[in-house]
Amino acid sequence: MTEKWEEAEQDYLTGMKYKDIAAKYDVTLNTVKSWKQRYEWSRSGAPPKQKSVHTKGSYVNNSDIKIRINFEKRFNYLTYW
């Protein structure tokens, strides 16, 4: 005999909603969600989960660097208070 979660997985893969699966197998909605995570259910056609986001680095041109160096040289005494 198959386990509840195995039968629920088949219902999930056919497109049944969490709420309907929970009612059918007499479990809570969160139980169905935990089964999905634990047993790694995935409907076909869904895009893969994105693990991290690559952010753009800041761009600093040479003139900005020169301005900053000159500023630090002129006002170096402000950093030692």
pLDDT in the model for residue 55: 73
Which tops the pLDDT comparison, 77 or 23?
23
| Residue 80 DSSP one-character state | G
Amino acid residing at 37: Q
Interatomic CA distance for residues 2 and 21, integer angstroms = 16
Mean pLDDT of the chain: 83
Which residue ranges make up each domain of the chain?
1-43
pLDDT given for residue 66 in this prediction: 82
Q: What is the structure's pLDDT at 77? A: 62
Q: Which pLDDT does position 29 carry in this prediction?
A: 95
The distance in angstroms from the start CA to the end CA of the chain is: 77
